[in-house]
């Protein structure tokens, strides 16, 4: 079972979300309409970084629950949300029968809470842990940064970073260009996009900067918000190695 992770800021609280990507094609499952959760107090289960590092305590806990509670109660593990002081695990099953008793046996050495609710549409998985378009882009951002770092890039080296956008009209992109200039971007090129039915026009802008995950995170969120508000599409960014 593949489990992916991404950083997410919720109400100014840093979190790392874990999710099982393959379930998105199966959700919801008619035989599993009850969502069950376990909150476990756990100090520093993960470092909030571009590439999250999970503590041994968390890895052992997740592995133990997935091997025991999932098989014993015939549950489907869909993901977890980690904070500085603990983690909540999410499952789906056909009922909550035996969940409390099994949890108490397995977690006798932990401080924890449990709960369950009807969730026929698997909303907690689809909207609570599975990444939306913004967080999918942020996952791509993290992959680019990790690839640069593994290739020997000096991330603190200031360089030109290219950002790509699509729009339905040239005028919309020109208005965005004015807004971008106030954010430290410079217009570099415009092009016709023949691969999109709706977004026929493309724009390339650049920004001189170092590669810092939290700065990229804030930039991506800001670009997504602007594009959502103005009917545009943010494609992503790229840069050359700087060593």
Residue range 76-97, pLDDT digits in tens? 999 999 999 999 999 999 999 9
Same domain? 184 vs 70: no
Tokens 């109400």: give the residue.
Answer: 11
pTM of the model: 0.88
- Residue 188 pLDDT: 93
The enclosing domain of 36 has a CATH number of 3.30.70
Same domain? 85 vs 149: no
Same domain? 92 vs 115: yes
pLDDT band at 153 (very low <50, low <70, confident <90, very high): very high
Rounded Cα distance, 55 and 223, in Å: 33
Instruction: With a cut of 90, say whether residue 9 has pLDDT above it.
Output: no
Residue range 169-199, pLDDT digits in tens? 999 999 999 999 999 999 999 888 777 778 8
Asked which of 129, 162, 183 is the last residue of a domain, the reply is 129
Instruction: With a cut of 90, say whether residue 242 has pLDDT above it.
Output: no
Number of domains in the chain: 2
- Residue 181 pLDDT: 95
Same domain? 142 vs 198: yes
Relative to beta strand 76-83, strand 13-19 is: antiparallel
Instruction: With a cut of 80, say whether residue 117 has pLDDT above it.
Output: yes
Same domain? 80 vs 152: no
Q: Are 50 and 213 in contact (CB under 8 A)?
A: yes
Rounded Cα distance, 63 and 220, in Å: 33
pLDDT band at 3 (very low <50, low <70, confident <90, very high): very high
- Residue 52 pLDDT: 85
Same domain? 178 vs 119: no
Asked which of 129, 146, 175 is the last residue of a domain, the reply is 129
Instruction: With a cut of 90, say whether residue 12 has pLDDT above it.
Output: no
User: Whole domain around residue 151: which residue ranges?
Assistant: 133-239
pLDDT, mean of residues 54-64 = 93
């Amino acid at each position: 079972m593949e489990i992916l992770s991404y950083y997410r800021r919720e109400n100014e609280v840093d979190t790392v979300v874990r999710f099982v990507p393959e379930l998105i094609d199966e959700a919801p499952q008619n035989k599993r309409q009850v969502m069950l959760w376990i909150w476990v107090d756990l100090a520093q289960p993960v470092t909030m970084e571009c590439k999250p590092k999970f503590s041994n305590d968390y890895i052992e806990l997740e592995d133990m629950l997935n091997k025991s509670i999932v098989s014993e109660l015939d549950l489907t593990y869909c993901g977890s949300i980690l904070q500085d002081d603990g983690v909540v695990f999410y499952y789906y099953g056909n009922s909550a029968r035996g969940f409390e008793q099994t949890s108490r046996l397995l977690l006798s050495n932990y401080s924890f809470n449990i709960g369950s609710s009807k969730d026929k549409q698997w909303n907690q998985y689809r909207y609570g842990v599975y990444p939306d378009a913004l967080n999918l882009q942020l996952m791509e951002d993290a992959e680019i940064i990790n690839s640069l770092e593994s290739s020997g890039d000096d991330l603190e080296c200031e360089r030109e970073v290219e950002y790509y956008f699509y729009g339905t009209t040239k005028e919309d992109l020109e208005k965005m260009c004015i807004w971008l200039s106030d954010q430290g971007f410079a217009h570099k090129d415009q092009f016709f996009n023949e691969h999109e039915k709706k977004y026929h026009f493309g724009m390339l802008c650049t920004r001189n900067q170092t590669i810092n995950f939290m700065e990229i995170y804030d930039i991506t969120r800001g670009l997504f918000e602007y594009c959502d508000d103005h009917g545009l599409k943010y494609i992503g960014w790229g840069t050359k190695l700087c060593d």
